[in-house]
Chains A and B, each alone.
Chain A
Amino acid sequence: MRYMPHTPNEREEMLAKIGIGSIDDLFTDIPEEARLGGLLDLPLHESEMVVEKNFRKLAAKNLSPYSVPCFLGAGAYQHHVPSVADHIIQRSEFLTSYTPYQPEISQGTLQALFEFQTQVALITGMEVANASMYDGATSCAEAVLMACRVTRRKKAVISGNLHPHYRDVTHTTLQFTEFETIDLPPAVTVEERFDDYINSDIACVVVQNPDFFGRLDDLTALADKCHDAGALLVVVVNEVVSLGAVKSPGEMGADIVAGEGQSIGVPLSFGGPYVGLLATRQKFVRQMPGRLCGQTVDQNGKRGFVLTLSTREQHIRREKATSNICTNAGLCSLAFTIHMSLLGESGLTKLASLNHSQAVILAEKLEELEGVELLNTSFFNEFTIRLPMNATTAIEKLGEKGILGGVPVSRLIPDDPDMANLLLVAATETCTTSDMDEFVAALKEVL
């Protein structure tokens, strides 16, 4: 087997050195009746060539969204990832290192984390960010737990326009704690009103911007209301490219930003691994979950970086930790950092502007179709349309024509007749004019 160096002779010699007669003698602590005599009922080992073939066969049974016009979003967005990002994350030194527990020989990972934390803080308009969470949905749940710890309150108000997965994960995470949520219903065409729910019992209000339906809102007034009641405003951003064009959550008064960083540097990969972003104000940092990288100096006074404030974490605090998270999204955060470094201020601004203009152009084309209604008054690169037919049926028919025409809202909000005809449509820099024209023409035929 190509991955294991020992020859049978070496194994024998090593056993002799250990002072035992056979490999079986190494496993005598296992209860005798449970020891496996033979092999597991699985195929035997394969060459690299055969393995590659197996996976090519599996890949061929899928439709690559990069090979067809694709307008899918709903929290995961198709973007171009520069080759440099994927090249660097495959460097052995980044790919095959562990969590940087030995800072003297982990400065590469640590400095990159420090840069990641800074980039996340800058784009969200917050003061500090952690070294990543699993994904946007788990980051949202952790933000709610954090808000409860900061305010010492037990209730979180959840916007009806939060991505349903984020809401569900928050429910799951909170279900066995002393904390609870107040869930507002989806508000697709009307403005969501939080006034009746904000009071001195509330730890936080959780809103998404752009929201699940793509709409943008100025959250400044909501932030003020939260703060007047002693509550925090948690803002979820799952399309971070939008932050190149719109006011940052920090600017609008957010206290915690929970985000999904997939759009920057991370491939779609059928939903994971992605990279959860979590940013907040410096004064709340000791209630933050997850790893934090900090700047310091070495014995010679040279700048260096270490994991810090670990007294919040499970390996020190055990059951009193701020979270149980250990492994996070290290390599995805590196990919994010590289892509964001390539974009820079001018690149992120231009990418955001390009995404918005693509979406505006597509929205205008779709609006012209008879029976299609654009439900958003504002949007960034994704919007909701109402079709004169069931959206799932329409998407299946478009699929037969080789077009991934959007995400039916009912896939995420089922059993609600108001949602049956709603379709989420996203347009990024990856779609071309002909992609849009094909989509519009095909949809016209389907309707």
Chain B
Amino acid sequence: MLNNKGRPTQPTTQSEPDVSIDTFTGNKGLELESPLIFEQGVPGRVGVDMADPEPVKSRLGGLERKGPIGLPDLSEPQVLRHFVRLSRQNYAIDAGFYPLGSCTMKHNPRINEKVARLAGLGDLHPMQPTSTVQGALELINSLAHWLKTITGMPAVAMSPAAGAHGELCGVMAIRAAHEAKGESRTRILVPESAHGTNPATAALCGYKVDSVPARKDGRMDMDAFAEKLGPDVAGVMLTNPNTCGLFETDVKKIADMVHEVGGYFYCDGANLNAILGRVRPGDLGVDAMHINLHKTFSTPHGGGGPGAGPVVLSDALAPFAPIPFVTHGENGFDLVEQKSGAAAQSFGRMKGYHGQMGMFIRALAYMQSHGADGLRQIAEDAVLNANYIRVGLQDKLNSPFSGICMHEALFDDSTLKGTGVTTLDLAKAMIDEGYHPMTMYFPLVVHGAMLIEPTESESRQTLDQFIGAMRHLLDKATAGETEYFLSAPLFAPRRRLDETGAARNPVLRWVSPEATDNEDASLSAAS
């Protein structure tokens, strides 16, 4: 029934329309598509106004470009609308719960963005005379102080650009330290549950990776570890808390044992969030540990970076730290940019300029906002939330390792056995419920692993609803509603994508339709 203004007077009871109906535009209400930017241009449009160049005699040395580049011309509103439309096809922590284990998807405070853009911080040139950037160097020095205090370590290398880059820094420092003693060691011990970056990093430093199995309780197998230790072991790379979401209870023993054979203890600090203010890695015998500022200290992930991976170092490794670094003396702050003097033993430079300053600013703002009290609260609430989820799902999903977890709850897929539903299918059904799926199939030591990291940012209401949704889905799966899972997601901007096809016939760029006639078919766009 409609009133005289054409508005319904009572809720409709009609059956829901078929969501698969195609519209003329391909859009569906607020779900708006945008073609590739290359398919939208009209030659002669401009998106940036600028002055006409003064006519000058070219000094390009005869190297002038002759042909066109092939970029499309667009106006500013077109470009803005294109990227706004694209943005709406993304899930984000700002929009919903993102329990991606091992990734620490926490709230990203906007004050951090604001201060990173202040004139005098965000716009500094890296090669300004140091006398004109004293505030920037003070900021780096201050962040270094926070990182050293939080970890209880005497030194920190600030320049690594991300976690894996930090690992490279730490393992290079280890190798440089051995070489300084005239030792050439060949092996690095890495637990099976480690992130793939650990073995990849060790290999890049010329080490043979020796994998250590996990014990039944999810920690590193101490017997196997002891057996593998020897004078040819350069060190061990251990994630703590580990990727099963567990604290390595034998961590001090591990440190002692590796030190006893003359090796070093590299700690993968990806999961530092869980222990902030509760324990300092420096008190556990760690020699090097990277800190993902984009995880623990909330510099935004940005769809895959940029990150920053400062590495705290023990006294034994500090002399080998990469250049550059900030020093402080009577004349204020300065930069050591060359491998001499204080940096004579440095293993070298890891990236251009001085580090990920934009991330330093955000991380320091985050730390100041939290303070010593807030940092400790982070760890407490993150671990509380993970255990709340663990307990909330423990009668529906199997925890491969019993007992209290740290910042993330790990489950295997034994509940799904025989249902025809896999961990992947379950994840895709979570998308329809409005969640970003948890980390799947990692760590490798657990079958069909589901690694759920809620972080401290989530309220109890969010967790309760998530637990409810997961229980609902698991009931559905065990009740035999397999088809529901196999067809998920239904409500995302795309249904499941053909990843095999993408890898078999890689189309890695757009090619103009005119060009495709003459080009190798593998380069051409498919549609």
Contact = CB atoms under 8 A, between A and B. Distances in A.
A binds B: yes
Contacts of B525: 295
B71 A331 contact: no
A192 B351 CA distance: 25
Contacts of A270: 121, 124-126, 133, 136, 353-354, 357-358
A300 B33 CA distance: 15
B349 A94 contact: no
Q: Which of B47, B165, B501 has the most CB of A within 10 A?
A: B47
Interface stretch (A31-39, A181-189, A224-232): A31-39
A341 B82 contact: yes
A169 B350 contact: yes
Interface string B83-98: 1101111111111001
Given A176-B206, A267-B123, A346 B63 contact: no
Nearest to B280: A36
B65 A31 contact: no
B16 interface: no
Interface string B358-395: 11010001011111111111101101110110111000
Interface in A375-392: 376-380
B108 A65 contact: no
A200 interface: no
Interface string A252-268: 00000000100000011
B91 A321 contact: no
Contacts of B61: 215-218, 377-379
Contact of B508 (A48, A92, A285, A317): A285
Nearest to B116: A269
A11 to B, nearest CB: 7
Given A95-B108, A269-B124, A309-B506, 16 more contacts: A2-B369, A11-B384, A14-B388, A31-B251, A34-B280, A92-B92, A93-B89, A93-B92, A99-B301, A99-B304, A138-B161, A178-B206, A282-B508, A310-B503, A319-B203, A378-B60
Given A29-B246, A134-B162, A297-B526, A93 B372 contact: no
Contact of A102 (B68, B86, B91, B350): B91
Contacts of B1: none
Interface in B417-467: 427-428, 431, 436-437, 442, 456-460
Interface in A41-58: 41-46, 48, 50-52, 54-58
A104 B100 contact: no
Nearest to A286: B506
Contact of A105 (B91, B138, B172): B91
A429 B390 CA distance: 57
A254 B80 CA distance: 34
A331 B94 contact: no
A356 B56 contact: yes
A341 B304 contact: no
B64 A247 contact: yes
B86 A107 contact: yes
A56 B520 CA distance: 55
B114 interface: yes
Interface stretch (A18-26, A153-161, A437-445): A18-26
Contacts of A132: 305
A84 B82 CA distance: 11
A98 B53 contact: no
B513 interface: no
Contacts of B51: 354, 429
Interface in B90-119: 90-95, 98, 100, 103, 105, 107-109, 111, 113-119
B264 interface: no
Contact of B115 (A52, A80, A325, A356): A52
A399 interface: yes
A282 B520 contact: yes
A294 B391 CA distance: 40
Contact of B301 (A64, A90, A98, A102): A98
Contacts of B91: 93, 97, 102, 105-106
A105 B436 contact: yes
Interface stretch (B4-12, B35-43, B310-318, B470-478): B35-43
B127 A407 contact: yes
A104 B86 CA distance: 13
Nearest to A165: B352
A272 B497 CA distance: 35
Contact of A272 (B306, B404, B523): B306
A293 B508 contact: yes
Q: Which of B65, B277, B388 has the most CB of A within 10 A?
A: B65
B303 A344 contact: no
B263 interface: no
A234 B508 CA distance: 21
A343 B43 CA distance: 12
Interface string A107-124: 111011011011101110
A190 interface: no
Interface in B184-234: 195-197, 199-206, 209
Contacts of B305: 132, 134, 273, 327-332
Contact of A58 (B136, B494, B526): B136
A166 interface: yes
Contacts of A326: 162-164, 195-197
30 contacts: A4-B456, A6-B384, A17-B391, A18-B388, A27-B279, A42-B371, A50-B368, A52-B111, A61-B120, A65-B124, A66-B119, A84-B76, A92-B93, A94-B302, A97-B91, A106-B89, A127-B509, A169-B348, A176-B205, A267-B123, A271-B352, A272-B353, A297-B497, A314-B197, A330-B305, A334-B302, A341-B79, A342-B48, A360-B58, A379-B60
Contacts of A51: 111, 115, 365, 368-369
A91 B118 CA distance: 18
Contacts of A343: 47-48, 71
A75 B305 CA distance: 21
Q: Which of A20, A121, A341 has the most CB of B within 10 A?
A: A341
A409 B429 CA distance: 58
Nearest to B139: A58
Contact of A35 (B279, B437, B459): B279
Interface in A331-372: 331-332, 334, 337-338, 340-351, 353-354, 356-361, 363
Contacts of B355: 271-272
B322 A294 contact: no
Interface in B323-360: 337-338, 347-359
Nearest to B248: A29
A340 B60 contact: no
A399 B355 CA distance: 24
B101 to A, nearest CB: 11
Contacts of B510: 114-115, 118
Contacts of B175: 176
Interface in B123-137: 123-129, 131-136
A269 B94 contact: no
B468 interface: no
A287 interface: no
B492 to A, nearest CB: 4
B74 interface: yes
B404 to A, nearest CB: 6
A306 B498 CA distance: 8
A344 B135 contact: no
B307 interface: yes
Given A267-B358, A350-B50, A399-B129, A107 B164 contact: no
B257 interface: no
Nearest to B444: A318
B124 A327 contact: no
A42 B149 contact: yes
A296 interface: yes
A217 B63 contact: yes
B180 interface: no
B301 A96 contact: yes
A30 B247 contact: yes
A193 interface: no
A171 B509 contact: no
A411 B370 CA distance: 38
